[in-house]
Amino acid sequence: MAELHELSAVALRNQLRQGKVSAAEVAAHFLQRIDRQNVPLGAFITVTADQAMERAHSADSRRARTPAGELPLLHGMPVAYKDLTDVEGVPTTHGSAALDHKPALCDAPLVALLRKAGAVSLGKTQVPEFGLTAYSENRIAPPSRNPHALSRSSGGSSGGSAAAVAAGLLPFAPGTDGGGSVRIPAAACGLVGLKPGRGLVPAGESLGDPARLVVAGPIARTSADAALMMDALVPAGPPSAMSTPAAHRRGMPGIVPDNDGGYLTAVKQEPPKLRIGITLDSPWSGTFPFSPEQEALDALNAGIGLLEHAGHALGEASIRYDNRYPDAFTTAWTAAVGTARISPHREALLAPLTRTFRRRAHQRSPAKLAESLAFLRQFQHDTVAQYARWDLMLTPALAQTPRPVGWFTGMHGGDRWPAAPWPGDADGDYRKQCEYAPWSSMVNVCGLPAITLPVHWTGGAPGQGLPMGIQLVGPAGSEALLLQVANQLGY
């Protein structure tokens, strides 16, 4: 018989609803795994065991007096939140030594939503400082490491959450994605990561986001597990018809879920045959020229083979991006750190990259930010128009294999944690990140949904070596379609 952490999230949810296992038993099982494995892994910053067990017992009491069909969707399901998201009574560190770590006064919208759905929080997961980077390393806790190779990073900024799911410390987890922060760690850890489109799900983070880049989405082992979390994040379910613009023009039928309207119902349906554009074009290429590693191209080719075998038509797509994008995106992406409330005498505790971007944000005029936001709106319009020639766009998920811990910052291996000062090459750090994940941030700017799938392993077979993935980007409202394609491909 499978142990609880070996069950899919859907199977575990079903056992909880059927009373085959109690919420307290589930919480205790996962807390024990965290206690045994978190020290080498660094997935959690804070573990809230007492609160979790209290809520699990409350869930069991509720089940004793409630018919199974009336229980909340995620009754008793363990989750955790990245430590950028407020959970009432638990400190939100933002991964920063420069802040006072006071307990949050109330739940962020994301937490309130999943709490209402019956989820039980086990704690807060590791993040980079203010969620700024594609790796989850900071100066307040050990770095988050990749369960498939502890010398490698789990990605960022939802790196602790992805590491926890991949290591079986959680069945699934919500992440937040403002420039790739769900998809990058999901790809690095061999998971399914879905970034919903703009405005569909509350972001749940407590810092500003002037370009509306951030959205919450599931990090899971399968598309069905991701769909289950989407049903909790979007209680109204997917749109009633999810045909893509190109498919609609060709007279193809829309994808209509069963009467309950859920993503979990929709994911089981076969998608229509799609036209999928393949591209390696990136808006970062002009500023940071890069060459994808062979393993990234191998993952892309593996994805092409799977999609063609499923009956989809694929072709080369040439996308032209405005070369002003890197400056405008960086201005918008780092604006919030400029407004963070940090005492002047504590700014020296910031990591070099954060401190550099904060100083530059202070030096910019409001007019510069407004100009960048206006440019990004035009970039969105132009890019979406180019993508609309295809039903979906296909890219590698990452241009490089998961990077060694400390590779971005120069703290190789993370062995110098805690260290002060860190190496100070902020611009080199940022350049490495943009070369590592060059196909992520423009999807946030465009407000589109996207999914990453672990289609390739460097050791030649699933679970062997390091995972590498593909990214599929869809038009607005295509979250269920992306999940269907993922399920069709076996993920």
> What is the side-by-side strand order in the sheet with 78-82?
44-47, 120-125, 78-82
Distance CA 483, CA 194 (A): 8
Whose structure tokens read 């937490």?
111
Question: What are the distances in angstroms from CA 340 to CA 40, 93, 130, 211, 275?
Answer: 31, 13, 9, 16, 44
Contact 417, 142 (CB under 8 A): yes
3-state DSSP assignment of residue 216:
strand
Which member of 154, 161, 181, 243 is catalytic? 181
Is 157 a known active-site residue?
yes
How does DSSP classify residue 406? T
Structure tokens at 428: 């080199």
How does DSSP classify residue 467? E
Which member of 82, 124, 195, 432 is catalytic? 82
Structure tokens at 439: 């196909």
Residue 145: name the closest of 169, 121, 123 by CA. Answer: 169
CB atoms within 10 A of CB 76: 28
Question: What are the distances in angstroms from CA 437 to CA 83, 149, 327, 410, 432?
Answer: 22, 19, 16, 18, 9
Helix 159-166 and helix 23-41: axis angle, to 10°? 110
Is 181 a known active-site residue?
yes
Which member of 96, 121, 154, 157 is catalytic? 157
SS3 content of the chain, % helix, strand, coil (to 5): 40, 15, 45
How does DSSP classify residue 90? B
Contact 209, 84 (CB under 8 A): no
Is 365 a known active-site residue?
no
DSSP 248-310: HHTTPPP----TT--HHHHTTSPPPP-EEEE----TTTTTS-----HHHHHHHHHHHHHHHHT
Distance CA 215, CA 433 (A): 20
Taking the CA atoms of residue 459, residue 461, residue 466 and residue 470 in that order, the dihedral angle to the nearest 10 degrees is 130
Residues acting as catalytic residues: 82, 157, 181
